[in-house]
Amino acid sequence: MRGVTEPVRVVDIRAFVCPMTWVRVKLGLEAIREGEILEVWMRGEEPLRNVPRSAKGEGHVVLLCEPAGEDHRLLIRKGS
């Protein structure tokens, strides 16, 4: 059984451009339950700027946003 900090789903948006970046993350969040965690792999400045902000705007919690090589890894806990 996964712990409360383990993501239950991963979305890789490194190949996408705005607005498909947030669209894919949003659909990933729809597929998990409230309280569960989504892991997102991002590349470039635009998603780094927009995805955490959009996630917070829709009531989710950004637990982590850290560089991972040329990319960024994000953990989002689904809100209500």
Which residues does the annotation mark as catalytic? Answer: 18
Q: Does 36 bind another protein (CB under 8 A)?
A: no
Q: What is the CA radius of gyration of the chain?
A: 11
Encoded tokens for 57: 């705007």
Least Å distance, CB 57 to another protein, is 8
Footprint on residues 52-71 left by another protein (CB under 8 A): 53-54, 58
Tokens representing residue 65 in the block: 């946003």
Classify 53 as helix, strand or coil.
helix
Among 8, 12, 14, 18, binds another protein (CB under 8 A): 18
Angle separating helix axes 20-30 and 45-57, nearest 10 degrees:
40
Binding-site ranges for another protein (CB under 8 A): 17-20, 22-24, 26-27, 30, 46, 49-50, 53-54, 58
